Amino acid sequence: MGLLQSTQALVASVLGLARTRLDLLSTELQEVLARLVLLMVGAVAAIVLGALAITFGAVALLMAVPEGYRVWATAGIAVAFLAGALFLGRQVQREAKAMPFAASLAELQRDLEALNSRE
């Protein structure tokens, strides 16, 4: 009878631990999805507003430059656009490297270490 109760207690503990980890994973998944939606909405808004500002600014600048220098002004604007695109690309790349589910993975690693230390 003692072995059966110990087995039941072990199974109950494992199920409780698994439930706790799944709850944490679910919470982190919701946070990641909410963050993704906010990032996407912000990115679309920034792209639209930025494109409008850049377009109007470039046209105004080109109209203000004397006719003989418009080719150079156009090239300068193109270089500025390229620099901005590279900067934003690096920002997006850095943000994409953030590791999702870090807390869940850390907890699972602690559980594995605790189980291995008992052996």
3-state secondary structure 40-70: HHHHHHHHHHHHHHHHHHHHHHHHHCCHHHH
Arithmetic mean of pLDDT, 81-96: 90
The larger pLDDT score, comparing residue 45 to residue 108, is at 45
Q: How many domains does the chain have?
A: 1
pTM, full prediction: 0.47
Domain residue limits at 75? 2-118
pLDDT tier for residue 38 given thresholds of 50, 70 and 90: very high
Q: What is the pLDDT of residue 49?
A: 95
The alpha helices in 1-119, defined as continuous H runs, are 2-64, 70-96, 102-118
Distance CA 14, CA 61 (A): 68
Q: What is the DSSP letter of 99?
A: -
Distance CA 22, CA 71 (A): 61
Q: What is the pLDDT of residue 1?
A: 57
pLDDT in tens, 42-73: 999 998 998 999 899 999 999 999 999 999 99
